[in-house]
Amino acid sequence: MSTPPLVPSPKVGFVSLGCPKALVDSEQILTQLRAEGYETAKSYDGADLVIVNTCGFIDAAVQESLDAIGEALHENGKVIVTGCLGAKKDASGDDIILKVHPKVLAVTGPHALAEVMDAVHLHLPKPHAPFVDLVPAQGIKLTPRHYAYLKISEGCNHRCSFCIIPSMRGDLVSRPIADVMLEAENLFKAGVRELLVISQDTSAYGVDVKFRTGFWNGKPVKTHMTQLVEALGELAAAYGAWVRLHYVYPYPHVDAIIPQMAEGRIVPYLDVPLQHAHPDVLKRMKRPASGEKNIERIQAWRALCPDITIRSTFIAGFPGETEAEFEYLLDFLKEAQIDRLGCFAYSPVEGATANALPDAVPEELREERRGRVMQLQETISKNRLQAKVGRTLRVLIDEVNRTGGVGRSAADAPEIDGVVYVKPPYEPHLKLKVGEFVDVKVTAADAHDLWAQA
Ligand code: SF4
């Protein structure tokens, strides 16, 4: 077996200013850097990046810190700032450091080990050593190589009465935006062509950290759904890849991402779990965004982005659901013309508060109502897919077989939506390949899938 070439360790310069508390912060950062395989550099020019831990206590300390940052920028150029001065704002609320030194790569306050390490990973990644690291840079994925799920947060602040996720996973915890973006970039670099953004409530991303500002590509980016989507769209465009959003509750700020879909920066697809339409049922379900006027919202989204695909899930036979409330749901579905729909008969989950609600709907009736929703949806879906016949669509190929290939258009998320059966191109040298995009002409449709010619 041949010995792998030695990859030199990345080197970080460190300037530590301030009091003993700042010194402890510096020690923790240096310890973490060493634990991850970084080396410390003794001079600015021997460093790949410099961290300056600042003090902001008195004017002289502020000046000393600003001078140290200036020197590091001048001598090295790649500078991350942490410490007390990082948390200080001037009278107009602007960040003092960024005002004087706009070229620093990232700024954090004191005791911010995780954020400092995020910034280091972003600007000076550890080289991946295949004989030492057990995990590839993009992590271990259970999905095919060309698509991957990107989890942006864990837990949920809502308390829907049929759900026990918050009691199992706790309240919303958003991942730092730099972490999320770095993972996305590693996935694209590893060949992922479609990124599926998931969480319990994608629209709430960043609420728990008060939409804290992080850094990506040297620019400040807020931990907020709209800014995340914008940054992911930009990154995906650089790799010619798709970004698809799941579990988006229809809060007003969601409207801001529809133009990005219309401009093709992210896939025009919204997975909005509505669960019901009748306001009283939604109230009993304790659903988030239940006061939103969903029909008007959907119509406005379609006016802005006519190609948008809307996916949703519904529950039939929720406790107390009357025939009139159920028919209200059917009327809503007729009007909303949702493209992709799943419907479940209500089923009590142990520990859910909905179990204590009066007037449970008998199981047979729950199933019957589910069947009526699915029957209606069959017709809606058939008509909507039929309207695509004759159009040219871009398809990502998931599978190649003897008769051609199976792929998905922007309207089809993996596993849950339909597929496009693709006949191979007429020219024998043009072959379908798994994980590649191909433009196809739709030739036929049924209620779930499309058939097309490459
Ligand atoms: S169903 Fe409701 S409570 Fe459960 S994860 Fe979704 S939003 Fe949160």
Alpha helices, H only, 245-305: 258-262, 279-285, 294-304
Nearest CA to ligand 1 atom 6: 200
**Centre of ligand 1 from the C-alpha of residue 355, in Å:** 16
**Centre of ligand 1 from the C-alpha of residue 266, in Å:** 25
Ligand 1 pocket list (CB less than 6 A):
156, 158-160, 163, 165-166, 200-201, 288
What is d(CA 262, CA 258) in angstroms, rounded to the nearest whole number? 6
Window from 5-9, 54-58, 261-265, 302-306 with minimum mean pLDDT: 5-9
- In tens, the pLDDT along 390-409 reads 999 999 999 999 889 999 99
- Residue in 411, 399, 413, 397 with CA at minimum distance from that of residue 454: 397
Angle among Cα 440, 230, 179 to the nearest 5 degrees reads: 110
- Residue in 256, 235, 118, 257 with CA at minimum distance from that of residue 175: 118
- In tens, the pLDDT along 104-121 reads 999 988 878 878 988 898
What is d(CA 225, CA 205) in angstroms, rounded to the nearest whole number? 5
If you ran DSSP here, which 8-state letter would residue 43 be given? Answer: S
What is d(CA 86, CA 182) in angstroms, rounded to the nearest whole number? 23
**Centre of ligand 1 from the C-alpha of residue 165, in Å:** 7
Ligand 1 atom nearest residue 166's Cα: 3
Q: Three-class SS of residue 418?
A: coil
- In tens, the pLDDT along 22-38 reads 777 788 788 778 877 78
Residue 5 has pLDDT above 50, yes or no: no
Place of tokens 């915890």: 173
Report, as an integer, the average pLDDT of 42-56.
Answer: 89
Tokens of 235: 């990154």
- Which amino acid, residue 437? F
End-to-end CA distance of the chain: 45
Ligand 1 atom nearest residue 157's Cα: 8
Place of tokens 């706790």: 170
Which residues fall within 8 angstroms of residue 62, CB to CB, at 6 or more apart?
Answer: 55, 56, 85, 88, 96
Nearest CA to ligand 1 atom 2: 160
What is d(CA 449, CA 421) in angstroms, rounded to the nearest whole number? 8
Angle among Cα 306, 310, 312 to the nearest 5 degrees reads: 165
Q: Is the pTM of this model over 0.75?
A: no
What is d(CA 209, CA 333) in angstroms, rounded to the nearest whole number? 36
What is d(CA 424, CA 33) in angstroms, rounded to the nearest whole number? 51
Alpha helices, H only, 305-362: 323-336
The answer to whether residues 189 and 138 touch, using CB atoms and an 8 Å cutoff, is yes
Tokens of 452: 């097309």
- In tens, the pLDDT along 191-238 reads 999 999 999 899 999 999 999 999 988 889 999 999 999 999 999 999
- In tens, the pLDDT along 432-453 reads 999 999 999 999 999 999 999 9
Burial class (CB in 10 A: 0-12, 13-18, 19+), 90: exposed
What is d(CA 160, CA 288) in angstroms, rounded to the nearest whole number? 8
Of 154, 158, 248, 290, which is best to mutate to test ligand 1, by the most ligand atoms within 8 angstroms of its C-beta? 158
Of 165, 199, 284, which is best to mutate to test ligand 1, by the most ligand atoms within 8 angstroms of its C-beta? 165
- Residue in 237, 278, 238, 231 with CA at minimum distance from that of residue 257: 231
What is d(CA 21, CA 368) in angstroms, rounded to the nearest whole number? 65
Predicted pLDDT at 290:
65
What is d(CA 389, CA 409) in angstroms, rounded to the nearest whole number? 13
